Structure 1
Amino acid sequence: MVSWWQALTRAAGRYPWPANVLLYAGFFSGGDALQQVLRGGPADWQHTRHVATVAVAFHANLNYVWLNLLERALPGRAPRTILAKVLCDQALGGPVYVSTFYAGMSILERKDDIFLDMRQKFWNTYKSGLMYWPFVQLINFSLIPIRWRTAYTGLCGFLWATFLCFSQQEVFLCLRVRNGTHSK
């Protein structure tokens, strides 16, 4: 009998794009579920579905293509090359990921102003990410094989998504408490 790890490795080798996208989305939406548990309130599975949708429809696919493009443009694992990849990722990729998360969630939540969360939270989220993602990507570009990089990013995104989803819901929960519609 084939173990789950062997099956996963085989699937990632044979179908790297879908395997990485599904792993990324699973980890990322798991981060949302974890932050809900940590809050102690009832689970909001619709929100978790929205996070998974943003991850599958955009983040994971963009990440897979982006990391492969970076590897083609800057091949290898020399220290200067790794540093260049990290800088490109943070300067170009980071703003896109943060913006699309907030805008994508706002679209799925049918908010009137889909850019409001992004305008309010972009800089704080991006600056916070600069304390986390460069170290993640340093490890990613130096130690992780290209076929696993999106899955690794998703795994690290589990912790980041916990923070990001917490941040994304903060204003919404404050408004519900202020209006008396939040129950715990």
Structure 2
Amino acid sequence: MAIWSKNAVTIFTKYPLIRGMVSYGVIWPISSFIQQTFEGKSFDTENRYDWWRCARFGLYGSCYVAPTIYTWFTIASKVWPGTTLKVALIKTFVETITYTPFAMCSFYFGMSLLEQKSIEEAITEVKMKFLPTYKVGASVWPVVALINFHFIPPQNRVPFISVCSLIWTCFLAYMKHLEAEEIPIQLKNRSARLNA
């Protein structure tokens, strides 16, 4: 057991992307579980937890979110090296207007596809939920990003953000599930308007 834990520490230290993928692979399904608990799901009633939803969050978080965040942090560190307040403000501003909208659109689109929805349904969900989510994100994430870029060492940025994202991902899980039943209705209404 000690050899395994020593090897894991070595791998996580040497490969921060793997550390981020493991972090997101744990934190994202936990966030889905927490959101479902607030939704009224439980272990022993007819309204049981949706474990497939948790699995989708884990898959998406570990295999898509962690690598894109790692890539963004790597690019940002090369383009704007350093951790001064000025550099941190620049990185935060650029992240808020570039990576954040990309990440939110990708979330709704990608999770819809993992739910086996059509591309049209995924696009409709992005259109319905992007702006409300972005408004909340733009008021929260710049502060977190500023702390991350100014105070956190580069090798620990993905794990730091993954811990901060636990609450954020609970919010995303809530927004993802919110009005999910209305998306086909929105498509029908849109199609009716286009055909009229």
Amino acid at match of 2:71: V
Count of aligned pairs: 175
Counterpart of 2:149 (choices 134, 141, 144) is: 141
1:163 aligns with 2:171: yes
- Matches of 1:8 and 1:139 in 2, distance apart? 27
Q: Deviation at 1:19?
A: 1.3
Structure 1: unaligned runs, 5 residues or longer: 176-184
What's the counterpart of residue 74 of structure 2? 68
User: Cα distance, 1:51 vs. partner?
Assistant: 1.2
> Could you say what secondary structure the match of 2:25 adopts?
helix
Contact 2:20–2:62 (8 Å) recurs in 1: no
TM-score, normalised with respect to structure 2: 0.82
Q: Is 1:17 matched with 2:17?
A: yes
For the aligned residue pairs, the C-alpha RMSD in angstroms reads 2.2
- Post-superposition Cα deviations, 1:46-96, rounded to whole Å, max 9, x if no partner, equal 111111121122111000111111011101111110000000111110011
* The structure with more radius of gyration: 2
Moved more, 112-121 or 80-89: 112-121
Report the Cα distance in structure 2 between the residues aligned to 1:86 and 1:131, rounded to whole angstroms. 12
The two structures have a TM-score, normalised by structure 1, of: 0.87
- Show the counterpart of 1:172: 180
**Native 8 Å contact 2:66 2:158 kept in 1:** yes
Q: Which amino acid aligns with 1:54?
A: Y
Q: Distance in 1 between matches of 2:150 and 2:65?
A: 22
Q: Which runs of 4+ in 1 moved over 4 A?
A: 4-9
Percent sequence identity over aligned pairs: 26
- What residue number does 2:135 align with? 127
In the alignment, structure 2 segments of 5+ residues that lack a partner are 42-47, 184-196
